[in-house]
Amino acid sequence: MLKANDIGYWYDRQENSLFEHVNLEFKSGHSYAIVGQSGSGKTTFLSLLAGLDKPRAGQIELNGEPINQLGLTNYRKSHVAIVFQSYNLFTYMSPLNNLLTAMAVTSSSHKGDKKFAMDMLQTLGITDEQMTKNVQKLSGGQQQRVAIARTMVCDAKLVVADEPTGNLDEENTQYVIEQFQKIAHEQHKCVIIVTHEPDVAAACDYAYRLAKHEFTLEA
């Protein structure tokens, strides 16, 4: 569903490009890991897939249509959901309001459906009591669960995550890995996870390594 067509990116000068001539395809119902050394450009690449920035060369296509033709804001609103390393929830809201807000902003088909949001939080192990108190009173693992629930209540078919387990302990990491696989295999979404943790990469259907400005598929 998502295709990188010959894309390249550099910050200041083309000679220092992070990667060039990248051609990759990501399909619905599958999970992908992107691994590589720190500073290799994984996050930058993900920001292009998420429509947060434009590639310097080439283009990204969603089901055959270039995403800048869709409009990046519209693309983010309707087609992509992001999970961050530092959760990036609305700190002044409860978990429930975080979900309701995301549903209201994105083109979710469940806008205003409180029950739907509560069920989703429940599924991810957030209790009724935790749902309505300030989100910052939850542990890191719980906050990341809320962030994952947020991607699930939006209708986006593409879920991207940047080091989603970076701040989590073993147990929560395992839980989050499972959730991402469920999203890919049970909800038939396309999941792309940037990670440096072998466990996370191993759980994904495919793993690409970014090294020496190139992506290579790992066994």
Partner 1 sequence: MNFFKRAWLNLTAKKGRSILLILVTSAIMLFVLAGLLIRNAADTATNNAKQSVGATVTLSANREAAFKKMRSSTSTSKTSRPKLTTSPVKLSDAAKIAKLNNVASCTATVSTSANATGFDAISTSGSSDSNGGGMKGMGGSTTSSGDIAISGVTSTSATSAFENSSSKITKGRGITTADEGTNNVVIESELAKEDSLKVGDSIKLKATTGTKKTYTLKVVGIYKASSSTSTQQGPGATDPANSVYTSYTFANTVKGAKYKNTADSVTFNVSDPAKVSSVKTAGKALINTSKYSLTTDDSSYQTVKASMANVKSFADKIVWLVAIAGTIILALIVILMIRERRYEIGVLLSLGEARWKIVAQFFTEMVMVLIVSIAIAGAGGKFVGNQLGQQLVSQQTTTATTTSSTSTQQGPGGSGAPGSSGTGSVSAQKQAELDINVSVMDLVELGGFGLAIMFLSIMLASGGILRLQPKKVLID
Q: Where are the alpha helices (DSSP H) in the chain?
A: 42-49, 67-70, 72-78, 95-105, 114-123, 128-132, 140-153, 170-185, 198-203
Q: CA-based Rg of the chain, rounded to a whole angstrom?
A: 17
Q: Which stretch binds ligand ADP (CB under 6 A): 39-47, 100-108, 124-132, 144-152?
A: 39-47
- 19, 75, 180, 208: residue in contact with partner 1 (rule CB under 8 A): 75
With CB under 8 A as the rule, give the number of residues binding partner 1.
Answer: 31
64 touches ligand ADP (CB under 6 A): no
44 touches ligand ADP (CB under 6 A): yes
- 31, 40, 106, 142: residue in contact with partner 1 (rule CB under 8 A): 106
The interface partner of residue 10, options being Mg ion, ligand ADP, partner 1, none and the CB cut-off 5 to 8 Å by kind, is none
How many other CB atoms sit within 10 Å of the CB of residue 78?
Answer: 17
43 touches Mg ion (CB under 5 A): yes
Nearest-approach distance from CB 84 to Mg ion, in angstroms: 11
Cβ atoms of residues 24 and 196 within 8 Å:
no
- 3, 28, 52, 213: residue in contact with partner 1 (rule CB under 8 A): 52
